[in-house]
Amino acid sequence: MLEIVQLPVLSDNYVYVLYDVEFGSAAVVDPAEAGPVFEILDRRGWRLDYILNTHHHGDHVGGNLELKQATGCQVLGAAADAARIPGIDRGLADGDEVVLGGNRAKVIEVAGHTRGHIAYWFAEQDALFCGDTLFSLGCGRLFEGSPQQMWASLEAIRRLPPSPRIYCAHEYTQANGRFARSVEPANPDLPQRLAEVDQLRAEGKPTVPSTLEQELATNPFLRPESAEIRKHLGMPDVENGQVFARLRAMKDGFR
């Protein structure tokens, strides 16, 4: 059994602490800061074995060195970006496996937001930790990669079974929802999804995780085949990657 503790940190980040109940092994995904992680480890009496970084940005690796120094844990991250991940011990590439007690995660390379971004796919637990590649109702900005790279990464996620919970790293869902509604207002699944999001935020609750099934139905960045989106963009007969590129550029300037 894999227990997942979601920690809100900074202004809108999420850090995830993973605990294998049978083996007593713990990992933390993208520790933006160390303090909240230490607090949950101390409160639960857990031993930290791994830091699993999805990419090098400071709001994902800020707690690496402090946690490593205090616990002796190993830092895992993208081999392609090892020089920018503080304290890295093991570089990971597409198809590699990470073992946490009795749980196994497959590494999926998902470049685009950064050139060395990876995701961790715990298939048996239906959990995908995807950092800033896929958000609830959105996707990450292209700081280092191309639209073609990012679309290939999103396609890799689209090929997964529809059941996974999507543990992304930021609470951006309401803003993403406004953009989704602007490009696909007749999507029959959007009104209920946006109402649920607004209710959760009104109650001070996270909108994350979502599920891949929800994202496939409502996230415009996973829906370039949509006739309504294509009509809105005036792009009826182009490849999906070109539709994605236009959507991503539009989102960059959306307010």
Which is the catalytic residue, given 30, 49, 117, 170? 170
Which is the catalytic residue, given 55, 56, 117, 232? 55
- The CA angle 96-104-6, to the nearest 5 degrees, is 110
Which is the catalytic residue, given 20, 49, 59, 81? 59
Which is the catalytic residue, given 60, 81, 117, 232? 60
Report d(CA 146, CA 77) in Å as an integer.
21
Which is the catalytic residue, given 49, 56, 57, 81? 57
Q: Tell me whether residue 56 is one of the annotated catalytic residues.
A: no
Q: Tell me whether residue 232 is one of the annotated catalytic residues.
A: no
- Here the contacts of 191-200 (C-beta below 8 Å, separation 24 or greater) are 193/137, 193/217, 193/218, 197/136, 197/137, 197/173, 198/174
Contacts of residue 109, defined as CB under 8 A and 6 or more positions apart, other chains included, come to: 78, 80, 93, 94, 117, 118, 153, 156
Q: Tell me whether residue 30 is one of the annotated catalytic residues.
A: no
Peptide bond before residue 185 is cis, with ω within 30 degrees of 0: no
CB 41 within 8 A of CB 26: yes
* Locus of tokens 């074995």: 49
Q: Tell me whether residue 55 is one of the annotated catalytic residues.
A: yes
CB 211 within 8 A of CB 164: yes
Q: Tell me whether residue 42 is one of the annotated catalytic residues.
A: no
Instruction: Please state, in angstroms and as integers, the Cα–Cα distance from residue 192 to each residue in 28, 82, 181, following that order.
Output: 32, 42, 12
Q: Tell me whether residue 113 is one of the annotated catalytic residues.
A: yes
Q: Tell me whether residue 117 is one of the annotated catalytic residues.
A: no
Phi-psi region of 62 (alpha: psi -120 to 50; beta: other; left: phi over 0): alpha
Determine the 3-state secondary structure of 153 from DSSP: helix
Which is the catalytic residue, given 20, 49, 56, 113? 113
What's the token pair of residue 221?
């960045």
Hey, which residues are catalytic here?
55, 57, 59-60, 113, 132, 170
